[in-house]
Amino acid sequence: MDLSAQEFLTDRAERFAAAAGSDLPAQVEKLTEAALACLRKGGKILVFGNGGSAALATHFSGELVGRFLGERRPLPAISLTGDASAMTAIANDYDYSEVFARQIEGHGTPGDLALGLTASGKSPNVVTALIRASAGGITAAVLSGHDGGPAAGAADIAAIVPSTDTDFIQEAHEAALHYICHRVDAAFCGDTSA
């Protein structure tokens, strides 16, 4: 891609406009309502993904446990990508496809929300984690791209970015996560009780 910064940003604006006219906004609203319901009932959000999606998972959990824009109490969220010892031990002793599923079994309880991030929808460890979460009474949700892949089929809630370009899918995932953060602030700001 040989674009100027202005052309690149114009391209992104057009892609976001197309995504806004797709099914994605309704899917993100459904995911957001599930996240809010989970947090209101005292549940926690377990978020995970690979590569760039791992970074987004950690970013999102940090916004919930720390804060986003307004003052509120810390909210329970765990990035399952953040514990290198757990991830490497599970990958070594079991299989890499188990690195998130095993942590969900250890940390998750019914009523929690497991949120997988996968641009392709094909990540075996994300799919396995969603299946294990759902089997354990944990709402399984995914932010994906392409056609949603096996991850969308394994999830109770799927928000699928209508694109095949990984970089844009991840940008749209970050926008969706920031939207959830805005809604969480609206619901919880002012609540500073521990």
Kindly report, residue by residue over 163-182, the tens digit of the pLDDT: 999 999 999 999 999 999 99
The whole-number pLDDT of residue 109 equals 97
Residue with tokens 């791209």: 145
Tokens of 183: 């809604």
Q: Give the residue among 61, 190, 70 at the shortest CA–CA distance from 117.
A: 61
122 in Cβ contact with 149 (< 8 Å): yes
Q: How confident is the model at residue 193 (pLDDT cuts 50, 70, 90)?
A: low
125 — phi, psi (to 5°)? -70, -30
Could you tell me the CATH superfamily of domain 29-188?
Answer: Glucose-6-phosphate isomerase like protein; domain 1 (3.40.50.10490)
pLDDT more than 90, % of the chain: 92
The amino acid at residue 113 is L
Q: Beta-carbon neighbour count of residue 185 at 10 Å?
A: 17
List pLDDT tens digits, range 113-166.
999 999 999 999 999 999 999 999 999 999 999 999 999 999 999 999 999 999
